[in-house]
Chains A and B, each alone.
Chain A
Amino acid sequence: MSSDEWRTDAELREVARSAGVSAWVHAQRLGGPPDAVGLNAFESVAIASLYKLPLALTWADLAEEGELDPCGRMRLPAAGRVGGPTGIALLLDDVEMSQRDVVRQMLAVSDNAAGDAIFATIGRARIDDHLTALGFPSGMVRQGSADETRAMMRDTGSETWLEAQRLLADPDRVTTTSQYDPAYASAATAADLTRLLGMLWLRAGYGHAIIREAMAQQAWRHRIGSGFPHDDVTVFGKTGTLGALRHETAVVQFPHEHPIAIAVLTRSVRPERHQPRVDAAIGELARLAVRPLRMPAA
């Protein structure tokens, strides 16, 4: 390690310590001479809703091969819908929309019902085969949001998504769920996630462009985006949140510079649901990891 790398490593650890999180970080430049920054970057972590990103890549690859029709109509019935905090998962009635719009919902607002629909359309085995053929670990997409939510409700003894969230957030009790465990949840390393973003940025398919656009339109900018409060810097992000897990993986694009892929995965020791300090620390971790990798694209 060079002295700069030591300094970045120490700074990342200090930010994580002060925010009360365990952190897994990996950043790499997409373009120019290869370079990367990491903290625990090769440890497997439960990725929560970040599973929607490898799922989206699989969808775009299969669409490119003609296996799926991105404009095909999908029905998302209200019956059997497992609740979630955003999007179609919040709605009361049946919904019908195109596959590409379902994918946009799944990425821009992390819609659990949309994730489940795409997961069911492709199927667990086909997703796993595709991702392992690309060199990703088996189980990177182990299940959809409905199975994840059901496991969380079972572990906490709850009847609803909201009740499970409330129990996991009790400050007077240590409540845990199998969905924090990479062995029982969709799981990947921070380095897997930045490699995935690298693929997504290299591919010229129609579906891949849809994904990049939806990531740039993500509804929130409180995590990685908070580290780059500049109107001319684009953050193509995807968050993942489940109880104590707060994650985001993104491509940060400064004008006239090489894009940089970054993954910040955290597990908080505070159980509360709303933790702006941790969200801001994710932005700070991203800024610290991205800074040494910035380079003009000329």
Chain B
Amino acid sequence: MDILRHLRFFTAVADARHFGDAARDLGMTQPPLSQGVRRLESRLGVRLFDRDARGVRITAIGQSLLPSARELLDRECAFVASASELSVPTQLRLGVVGDLDDLIPTLVAELAGSGQSVAPVVAGSVQLVDLLRDGMLDIAVLRHPGVVDGLAAGEVLVIPTRLDSTIGSSLKDAAPVAVPPRHHQPPAHDQLVDALRRLGHSGRVVEAADAVQRGALTAAGTAVRLVPVPNGAVGDPGSPPLRLRIARPLAAGRRPEVDHEGAAAVLHRVLSRVE
């Protein structure tokens, strides 16, 4: 017998002094409630209620058992509450490269909207790789190319960019490009500088860790930015793209309670929709 469930019947009838009202309080119908109380009485070998034409009255034995019944039900409540305090919902620890600029909120929101609880960290790729290797992140969007030894990295995702400039519309004649610091991902940084020179740009860059700072430099007209274009928008032809890879720890290093595949699929979908 589920004693706690039957004790709820007992206390509900004692409080309502009426089987019909008690059944309504419990969200059930009267017959199963009456049967339940009778089963409890027979299990305990005592009579809890007197029933007559005027209604239902608790017996003296019922009255003396009532406080311990309430106490048991209170303890049940407290037990469930303390368990739920201890259970932290599994959060996906997500790393995102700062190079994604304005696309970061969209990316994180899509992942959060997929029902996944997300704890995001925005940093440079080298730092994110270290965090992944140390087991401090579950998944990260990294800038490519960079060293990913000891991680499982997916295919290269190519994100178009457009020129954000207050001083001209051609990258060839543009001011220095505001970029994240080289040490965030040296090979990717050098690849961009080579691509700028290939286009006829001077290859000069201004390193600024913060996207807001890069925006401010652009607004001031002392630099231009290459911004990854949002979902579906078209980049400037010839503008060097942003290359990314989604990386996870190797299978043995993954937290089993995290849905890595699902998260990777969402990130991949959002980033490859950027056409």
Which A82-132 residues sit within 8 Å CB-CB of chain B?
Answer: none
Q: Which of A20, A174, A271, A272 contacts B155, CB < 8 Å?
A: A174
Q: Nearest Cβ in chain A — how far from B261, in angstroms?
A: 19
Beta-carbon contact of A171 and B191 below 8 Å:
yes
B residues near A270, Cβ cutoff 8 Å: 145, 187, 190-191
Beta-carbon contact of B145 and A171 below 8 Å:
yes
Beta-carbon contact of A18 and B158 below 8 Å:
no
Beta-carbon contact of B147 and A20 below 8 Å:
yes
Is B74 positioned at the interface, with any CB of A under 8 Å from its CB?
Answer: no
Is B70 positioned at the interface, with any CB of A under 8 Å from its CB?
Answer: no
Bound Cα distance from A54 to B93, whole angstroms: 49
Q: Give 12 CB contacts A-B under 8 Å.
A: A17-B126, A20-B145, A20-B147, A20-B190, A174-B153, A174-B156, A269-B147, A269-B187, A271-B145, A272-B191, A272-B194, A277-B190
Secondary structure dominating the interface of A: loop
Beta-carbon contact of A268 and B187 below 8 Å:
yes
Beta-carbon contact of A20 and B187 below 8 Å:
yes
Q: Nearest Cβ in chain B — how far from A16, in angstroms?
A: 9
- Quick one: CB contact mask for A135-172 with B, threshold 8 Å, 1 for yes? 00000000000000000000000000000000000011
B residues near A271, Cβ cutoff 8 Å: 145
Bound Cα distance from A171 to B97, whole angstroms: 19
Beta-carbon contact of B186 and A17 below 8 Å:
yes
In the complex, the 9 A-B pairs of residues with the closest C-beta atoms, listed nearest first: A20-B187, A269-B145, A270-B187, A270-B145, A18-B186, A269-B187, A172-B158, A269-B147, A20-B186
Residue of A nearest to B191 (CB): A270
Which B143-187 residues sit within 8 Å CB-CB of chain A?
Answer: 145-149, 153, 155-156, 158, 186-187
A residues near B149, Cβ cutoff 8 Å: 22
Is A173 positioned at the interface, with any CB of B under 8 Å from its CB?
Answer: yes
Beta-carbon contact of A22 and B147 below 8 Å:
yes
Q: Considering residues A19, A22, A270, A272, which has the most beta carbons from chain B within 10 angstroms of its beta carbon?
A: A270
Q: Nearest Cβ in chain A — how far from B119, in angstroms?
A: 28
Number of interface residues of A (CB under 8 A): 15
Bound Cα distance from A172 to B186, whole angstroms: 17
Residue of B nearest to A271 (CB): B145
- Quick one: CB contact mask for A7-38 with B, threshold 8 Å, 1 for yes? 00000000001111010000000000000000
Bound Cα distance from A19 to B146, whole angstroms: 10
A residues near B241, Cβ cutoff 8 Å: 172
Beta-carbon contact of B146 and A269 below 8 Å:
yes
B residues near A174, Cβ cutoff 8 Å: 153, 155-156, 245
A residues near B243, Cβ cutoff 8 Å: 171-172
Given A20-B146, A171-B156, 7 additional A-B pairs, CB 8 A: A17-B147, A20-B186, A171-B145, A172-B158, A174-B245, A269-B187, A277-B190
Which B44-100 residues sit within 8 Å CB-CB of chain A?
Answer: none
Which A265-287 residues sit within 8 Å CB-CB of chain B?
Answer: 268-272, 277
Which A164-211 residues sit within 8 Å CB-CB of chain B?
Answer: 171-174
A residues near B156, Cβ cutoff 8 Å: 171-174
A residues near B147, Cβ cutoff 8 Å: 17, 20, 22, 269
Q: Nearest Cβ in chain B — how far from A231, in angstroms?
A: 30
Which B196-244 residues sit within 8 Å CB-CB of chain A?
Answer: 241, 243
B residues near A17, Cβ cutoff 8 Å: 126, 147, 186
A residues near B155, Cβ cutoff 8 Å: 173-174
Residue of A nearest to B148 (CB): A269
A residues near B187, Cβ cutoff 8 Å: 19-20, 268-270
Q: Nearest Cβ in chain A — how far from B93, in angstroms?
A: 24
Bound Cα distance from A277 to B147, whole angstroms: 16
Q: Which of A19, A22, A173, A272 contacts B186, CB < 8 Å?
A: A19
A residues near B153, Cβ cutoff 8 Å: 174
Residue of A nearest to B185 (CB): A20
- Quick one: CB contact mask for A244-272 with B, threshold 8 Å, 1 for yes? 00000000000000000000000011111
Residue of A nearest to B182 (CB): A18
